[in-house]
Amino acid sequence: MNNFGSTQSPSQDVGILDDETSPAPGSGRLTQQLRRLLLSNEFGLLALIIIFSIIFAIVTPGFTSSFSLFAMGRTAAVNIIIGFSMMVVIVSGGLNLSVGSIGVCVAMGGGWLMQVAGFPWYLGVVGALALGAMIGALNGVLIVKTGLHSFIITLATMSIFFGVMIFLTQAGSFRELPPEYVTFGRMKINGVVSPLLIVTLVVGVILAVFFKLTTAGRRLLAAGANPDAAELSGIRVDRTIILCHAMSGVLAGIAGLMLVSRTGAAIPSMAGQLGQDWLLPAFLGPVLGGTLLTGGRASVLGTLLGAFLVTLLTTGLLLLQVGAFWVQTCLGLLLLAAVLIDLLRRSYLARHNLI
């Protein structure tokens, strides 16, 4: 199985062609591939999305209205990017608890550049994302230089980044942003689709290409799977750690800027206290999608589907007027169930030689 959950390889493709002359073994191989597909995270998530969509459409008035679908797509766009920002670090075997804090810092930096410094919106976005890359890279440098686990470093920097941002901005917000930037986040395509969702899909394609086709992406996966072996093969593991944290900072920044465009203002509390409101969606997407917490495997499609499922469940439960605290409880249970089910699934695949 490759790193994206796909079950086909070049050798397997050749094997399928050979099946035309040897039907019995080919039939068994196809059956095995079908079982792999049905047991993959991506297929399971897609099935759950379809099932819950049907349930909510039946029991929840207004769930399928154009406004509801537009709002859900816009929320999903941000949640998916938040999931990506955690995924690129989990791939290396680490964690980034400061995702929300970095996202808010970038959002506030972008707001300052556009409102106070007078930058055009596109230069403000570029400058803010550069800030996100630097903050993320700082996390990576601290992890490499101290040798401490990323959990400790990012737990500390989560508070540091947020505190510095509050000090510099005096907890003020930026609400006089360029109209075209704010309009983009509120725009509707065909009355239903948010352009933010298209931005998210483009980012997903770029990440998939990065991990699948680039040397840097493959080195990052190798370093996450077995750092010692990767180091012996000539891969600079310390550089890959800094790279993945810089990428995480950029992605968290994209999520923050999308949120600013959606709400029309850069607000310090947009990700909750210390950015903690982003932690649960940041973990849910990658974990549900099949990204290994031990590193070495990333599933961009799985993370996308996982984050969309979380958004779907949240939207449906809120429309059913379930309390927000119960929604958080459900999401926490979903995270726990996903980890346990994934353990069972991997155990089954290993017993049947499907991995």
Would you list the domain boundaries of the chain? 73-315
| pLDDT of 353 strictly over 70 | no
In degrees, to the nearest 5, what angle opens at C-alpha 43 toward C-alphas 40 and 64?
Answer: 155
Element (H, E) at 350: helix 324-351
Residue 176's SS3 state is coil
Q: Taking all residues of the chain, what is their mean pLDDT, rounded to a whole number?
A: 85
Q: What residue has token string 């800094």?
A: 242
DSSP code of 149?
A: -
The CATH code that applies to domain 73-315 is 1.10.3470
Count of residues in the chain:
355
| pLDDT of 19 strictly over 70 | no
Cα within 13 Å of Cα(327), Cβ side: 18
Q: What's the average model confidence in pLDDT over 58-84?
A: 91
Give pTM, 2 decimals: 0.85
pLDDT of residue 355: 59
C-alpha distances (whole Å) from 286 to each of 62, 157, 206, 266, 304 are: 29, 22, 17, 27, 8
In angstroms, rounded to a whole number, what is the distance separating the alpha carbons of residues 1 and 145? 34
Q: How do residues 199-255 score in pLDDT, each as one tens digit?
A: 999 999 999 999 999 999 999 999 988 888 988 888 999 999 999 999 999 999 999
Q: What's the average model confidence in pLDDT over 326-345?
A: 78
What is the sign, positive or negative, of the torsion defined by CA atoms of 243, 208, 285, 337?
A: negative
pLDDT of residue 328: 79
In angstroms, rounded to a whole number, what is the distance separating the alpha carbons of residues 252 and 275? 11
Tokens of 305: 């589907």
Per DSSP, what are the bridge partners of residue 266? 174
In angstroms, rounded to a whole number, what is the distance separating the alpha carbons of residues 293 and 87? 9
Q: How do residues 273-309 score in pLDDT, each as one tens digit?
A: 777 889 888 988 898 888 877 788 888 999 999 999 8
In angstroms, rounded to a whole number, what is the distance separating the alpha carbons of residues 348 and 6? 17
In degrees, to the nearest 5, what angle opens at C-alpha 152 toward C-alphas 277 and 231?
Answer: 115
